[in-house]
Structure 1
């Protein structure tokens, strides 16, 4: 059976102050009370302990052996309680705690570093748990509460349990081996890619982006012939460099520096892909609200990229 604490905190606090001052008048003044109530608090505490805690003598007071034994424990309890209250207030206000963020790998090349830097500057006490995952796993992780927020591409329109806020809109570009005949052009029409095999992320990794890319091909009059799949854009570009195909990708992929890869604008017009932050609709975690505020600041500074 769990043992309930016997000593009220006000009595412990009065005891520690008197033990430090060893003077009823000074201790009462420090506590902001009169001497009689202080004497009553100490007397009640001594009754619970079963032994005197102070020697009361004409020249002053000193701690008894029981008092000397109780003092460090009382000080420890009061310190731990104060620390616990401070920690609870910090977590409740979103100043500390743990925030789990999923992100698509390509966003490490664009919005993620600046966003995390902005957040860490304001909330250095928060532990950030950053997890690299594609869009579909992020959506699943948000639903099963294994992450708190996601940074993903082409959010779905039909998910009513999650909310989405656009962070970035960027063009889609053609990614070609540097020796490809079309690499000599500044702009490539999607229809010109019809005869080349494609390297794409599997649809299961991000259905909306996959459909966006294949939809551009369909609109240009052909169905892309998928030669290879790769889960990460870094791998996609490496396979393009190896001559295994071409692809259409977010413009931020240009920051993956591979000598054997050419990135070209597509035309006519400009197809774009949307990056969004995602979170559970009714999540009241203050850390989520803080990160969304940081997203808003970043979006205000850099609403789009070309």
Structure 2
């Protein structure tokens, strides 16, 4: 039979004091209930833990062996209770975070580095995936939060906060004639070959860039469609065409690729922090609140500087 924690606590006090009166005072109780707890513990274990008479109290061999283990058991129980309380408050725990490839260039690494300092007891695991896959993972509960592109008709069970708003830049080979321009005009794209994002895996950018090109008068000729920004830039570097990319693409540092601002200052690429409202992980909300404060602080530092070639 496993003794209860109160019996172990009484046993440890008597075992350390070797005096029932002092042990009772230490536990803020009288000697009679203390003696009863020790007797019940001995009966449940089937061993004598103390040799005692009117003048002296000594641990038996069994009592000596039990004392160290009892201390460890009591400490472990206290630790378990503390861990449970910290997890319930969101101070400790695990958070699974999804992110798009673009968010992984700077935003997510810097955020996680700060979170490791501010929330040292929250373990964060990262999962790179496109926006559509993140939505499915959030609904299935396989990730807790996601950094993803906004989509129309978002599931009402999903909550979100704005994370990043950035302009679009025109990417071109560094030797392209347009690289000499400080700013790209709509008419500059006429008759150019163009690398577009995929209509499925890269739907957000495909639709956003498509709306920009539709207002360009004579839109360029699309020759390839890619799902990821680094793949788009790789084709641009190979001289296969121009591309519109989010300003965060500058962190990829593709040699031989120039990035220039375009005529549409009003078009922004948005990134949202999204989580499921019914998420039962307390650490999820704590991390989301921290991320919101971090993002607000990052925004206070001002707009992203213009990208250089």
Q: What is the alpha-carbon distance in structure 1 between the residues aligned to residue 295 and residue 45 of structure 2?
A: 62
2:131 — aligned with what?
Answer: 135
Q: What is the alpha-carbon distance in structure 2 between the residues aligned to residue 31 and residue 268 of structure 1?
A: 74
2:154 — aligned with what?
Answer: 158
Q: Per-residue displacement from partner, 1:2-28 (whole Å, max 9, x unpaired)?
A: xxx542221121112211221112211
The reply on whether 1:146 has 2:146 as its aligned counterpart is: no
1:16 — aligned with what?
Answer: 12
1:55 — aligned with what?
Answer: 51
The reply on whether 1:206 has 2:202 as its aligned counterpart is: yes
- Aligned residues of 1:198 and 1:226 also touching (Cα < 8 A): yes
Q: Per-residue displacement from partner, 1:137-159 (whole Å, max 9, x unpaired)?
A: 11121111111101122343432
Q: Per-residue displacement from partner, 1:90-117 (whole Å, max 9, x unpaired)?
A: 2112222211111112223342233223
Q: What is the alpha-carbon distance in structure 2 between the residues aligned to residue 154 and residue 250 of structure 1?
A: 14
Aligned with 2:101 (options 99, 105, 114):
105
Aligned with 2:243 (options 241, 247, 266):
247
- Aligned residues of 1:168 and 1:305 also touching (Cα < 8 A): no
2:189 — aligned with what?
Answer: 193
Instruction: Return closer, same or farther for 1:190/1:152 CA change in 2, 3 Å cut-off.
Output: farther
- Aligned residues of 2:145 and 2:275 also touching (Cα < 8 A): yes
2:303 — aligned with what?
Answer: 305
Instruction: Detail structure 1 runs of 4+ shifted over 4 Å in the superposition.
Output: none
- Pairs within 5 Å for 1:253-268: 253-268=249-264
Q: What is the alpha-carbon distance in structure 1 between the residues aligned to residue 270 and residue 54 of structure 2?
A: 82
Q: Could you list the runs of 5+ residues in structure 1 that have no partner in the other structure?
A: none
Q: What is the alpha-carbon distance in structure 2 between the residues aligned to residue 200 and residue 25 of structure 1?
A: 84
Q: Per-residue displacement from partner, 1:166-190 (whole Å, max 9, x unpaired)?
A: 1111111111111222222111124
Secondary structure, counterpart of 2:171 in structure 1: strand
1:70 — aligned with what?
Answer: 66
1:270 — aligned with what?
Answer: 266
1:121 — aligned with what?
Answer: 117
Instruction: Return closer, same or farther for 1:269/1:92 CA change in 2, 3 Å cut-off.
Output: closer
Q: What is the alpha-carbon distance in structure 2 between the residues aligned to residue 294 and residue 113 of structure 1?
A: 15
2:223 — aligned with what?
Answer: 227
2:165 — aligned with what?
Answer: 169
2:307 — aligned with what?
Answer: none
> CA offset at residue 58 of structure 1?
4.0
Q: Could you list the runs of 5+ residues in structure 2 that have no partner in the other structure?
A: 305-309
Range with bigger deviation, 141-150 or 216-225: 216-225
> CA offset at residue 131 of structure 1?
1.6
Secondary structure, counterpart of 1:215 in structure 2: helix
Instruction: Return closer, same or farther for 1:215/1:91 CA change in 2, 3 Å cut-off.
Output: same
- Aligned residues of 1:154 and 1:274 also touching (Cα < 8 A): yes
Q: What is the alpha-carbon distance in structure 1 between the residues aligned to residue 148 and residue 186 of structure 2?
A: 24
Equivalent pairs, count = 302
- Aligned residues of 2:98 and 2:143 also touching (Cα < 8 A): yes
1:83 — aligned with what?
Answer: 79
TM-score calculated relative to the size of structure 2: 0.89
